[in-house]
Amino acid sequence: MALIAELPGPGQVLVCGASRGIGLALCQRLLARSDVERVFAVSRRATASQALQTLAQQHPGRLVLLDCDARDESALADLASALRQQCSHLHLVLCTLGVLHEAPARPEKSLAQLDLASLQAAFLSNSFAPILLLKHLAPLLRQHPATFAALSARVGSIGDNHLGGWYSYRASKAALNQLLRTASIELRRLNPLSTVLMLHPGTTDTDLSQPFQANVPAERLFEPAFTAERLLDLVARHGPAHNGAFLAWDGQPIEW
């Protein structure tokens, strides 16, 4: 199956949040494919990541490491400028950015635990960074088949919220969904071959989920490699006809 719908040849791919967890697993899976020409691995300390350096040595010329703190818009502008010097277009952007319990963000259990610092940290990483990444990369996603897929979360669904709690995380993922849904409409006008997807990866064994794994059945706790494979399968199966969709790892749509 092709990397994305209607892709005529090998793809140029960017993974943001590439140095660990799902992002690293995506880089590994992508580099194992013959229809991927090059992967741009972006994270705050990509060039210092031993795992990414090892991958780069295993795939000479196919993995480019780029340092960028996506929470800083000037850094995103610099990233886009650096990319334009190396490629004329991107076919696939995978954004795995997200924070749940990295201070000052935290998974609040009650209103009393809410504070401005936690809210700002959650929205900065979970909402603002992904949409600003798309803003600055948008010129590289025009006039050819292109997909921008970001990790959202089922708990960002307002209709599916029956338990409460996790105020900042829920709200910031709901905001991400609205921002990307809105962007999908604009991008479709600019490029009818574009697709924007919001993907719930399921509970994956990463630093983000580690404190909350105790009550997750073993068969529902996924290894990053499995999650990466499922996400790439979703991307391959959902093209422009599914633009703006919010999907779970198993392909089922999630209510807003």
Per-residue pLDDT of the chain (256 residues; tens, 9 = 90+): 899 988 989 999 999 999 999 999 999 999 999 999 999 999 999 999 999 999 999 999 999 999 999 999 999 999 999 999 999 999 999 999 998 868 788 889 999 999 999 999 999 999 999 999 999 999 999 989 999 999 999 999 999 999 999 999 999 999 999 999 999 999 999 999 999 999 999 877 665 545 554 565 555 567 889 999 999 999 999 999 999 999 999 999 999 9
Q: How far is CA 225 from CA 95, 175, 203, in A?
A: 16, 28, 13
Closest CA to 36 of 171, 235, 246: 235
Q: What does the pLDDT read at residue 213?
A: 46
Between CA 18 and CA 66 the distance in angstroms is: 10
DSSP structure class, residue 140 = G
Segments making up each domain of the chain, as ranges: 11-248
Closest CA to 4 of 187, 231, 249, 198: 231
CB 97 within 8 A of CB 70: yes
CB 168 within 8 A of CB 122: yes
Between CA 132 and CA 116 the distance in angstroms is: 21
Domain 11-248 of CATH type 3.40.120.10:
no
Helix axes 21-31, 50-58, angle to 10 degrees: 0
Q: What does the pLDDT read at residue 209?
A: 45
Q: What does the pLDDT read at residue 132?
A: 98
